[in-house]
Amino acid sequence: MTKKVRLGIIGLGAQGGMYAKLIKDGQVPNMEIGAIVDPDPAKRDKAAAEYPGVPVYEDYATVLASGDVDAVVTCVPHYLHPQMGIDALAAGIHALVEKPAGVYTAQVKELNAFAATKPELTFGIMFNQRNNPLYRKIKEIVDAGEIGAIRRTNWIITTWWRPQGYYDQSAWRATWGGEGGGVLVNQAPHQLDLWQWICGVPKSVYAKVAYGFRRDIAVEDEVTAVVDYGDGATGTFVTAVHDLVGTDRFEILGDKGKIVVDGSKTATVTRLVKDETELSASMDMEDVMKLFMGQANTEDLYTTETIEFESAWGGQHAGVLENFAANILDGTPLLAPGSDGINGVRLANAIHLSSWTGQEVPLDLDEDLYLTELNKRIREEGKFPERQKA
């Protein structure tokens, strides 16, 4: 490959540093580092030492006008993602925003609307879990109707254990004004995206959320949410940061089967031979007793398949970067279009708002009310400026 996309990495923290290393190590064959941006002098010195020959800048506005990059990735605090994405696209630069796309839907809508005026530019989001072969396979199974219409979904994802020292390392961490929330905006956006990407966007949510429950922080550290998809189908989402061992278990029950995912590595897929209601209507009590006693031939009722993929660390991120570059170079469809980023932000907003008001909240939530409630908490912190709608 001769043509490569020159990527500007804005922010050389944990994520930006990982992307730079993946590209340097040749894991993204259609991409090279065009420039690195960071306001911290120490990180700029580190970038110059580790990536000789790569231009290093103090601010992102300069790199957008430099001619050194074809695209940028925004490895910066959440509130900054939408405006940086807009500024890049306005400068004729392709934009890959980190997750989440923003903190509240009004600012993400502004980003999406502006991106829609630049169809010639590529706009993506770093939903690397969409590149997990296991979840891609599960989506194929659900989309193909192999387990029928969804009746219920459940995801318990408590593998986000964080000690108090994690939150104490910086003043903006786990604050309403600096980070915009806790586990929903920092650790769990990938699951909020996958849940809706695979199972569909719910109509409403009711949530019980604990703030500073087991950690000395202002934002949420435990969440239990119940969603309504309509037509009687429901789902639950449970996440927390204080479970040292943690559980990652995702279940999708359909009227023709079931998928159970453990540890984001192994999926057990059960396919019924007929719709469950047909099986229910066709079985008499003798058939039922045989099933309960383990005497029935289950192959007459269902088949079971186990799916497992090994996924190398960093491979999912590298795949999203490669896919993003391929879209720029030859129009390969995006695995994670940037416009999809609003789905997870909207659900997180609805979960927060439900817990703040004690009411079930539609996914088409009152954005003004959400921002009012968010700013109320920012004022109480007294550390950061309040946020504007757009």
Digit-coded pLDDT (tens) for 64-78: 999 999 999 999 999
Residue 170: the pLDDT is: 87
CATH 3.30.360.10 boundaries in the chain: 130-309+344-381
pLDDT at 312 over 80: no
- Ranked by mean pLDDT, the top range of 130-134, 159-163, 315-319 is 159-163
Tell me the average pLDDT across 77-106.
97
Reported pTM: 0.95
pLDDT of 322 reads 97
- Rounded Cα–Cα distance for residues 138 and 155 (Å): 14
- Lookup: tokens for 12: 């050389």
Q: What number of CA atoms fall less than 13 Å from residue 296's CA on the CB side?
A: 16
Q: In 3-state terms, what secondary structure has residue 347?
A: helix
What integer is the mean pLDDT of 14-38? 96
Distance CA 130, CA 127 (A): 6
Listed in order, the ranges of the chain carrying CATH 3.40.50.720 are 5-126+314-337
Helix (H, G, I), strand (E, B) or coil at 71: strand
In residues, how long is the chain?
390
The percentage of residues in the chain with a pLDDT greater than 90, rounded to a whole number, is 94
Is the per-residue pLDDT at 42 higher than 50?
Answer: yes
Q: How far apart are CA 246 and CA 159, in angstroms?
A: 4
On average, the pLDDT of the chain sits at 96
Q: How far is CA 196 from the centre of its chain?
A: 10
- What pLDDT sits at residue 365? 97
CATH number for the domain whose boundaries are 5-126+314-337: 3.40.50.720
Average pLDDT over residues 266-279: 97
Q: Are 281 and 173 in contact (CB under 8 A)?
A: no
Q: How many helices (H) and strands (E) does the chain have?
A: 13, 15
pLDDT for 380 equals 96
Task: Taking residues 186-201, report their average pLDDT.
Answer: 97
Strands 266-272 and 123-125, bridge-based pairing? unpaired
CATH superfamily entry for domain 130-309+344-381: Dihydrodipicolinate Reductase; domain 2 (3.30.360.10)
Residue 1: pLDDT band by 50, 70, 90 thresholds? very low
Distance between CA atoms of 133 and 139, rounded to whole angstroms? 10
Between CA 246 and CA 239 the distance in angstroms is 9
Q: What is the pLDDT of residues 138-178, one digit of tens each?
A: 999 999 999 999 999 999 999 999 999 999 998 999 999 99
pLDDT bracket for residue 309 (50, 70, 90): confident
Interval 333-356 mean pLDDT: 98
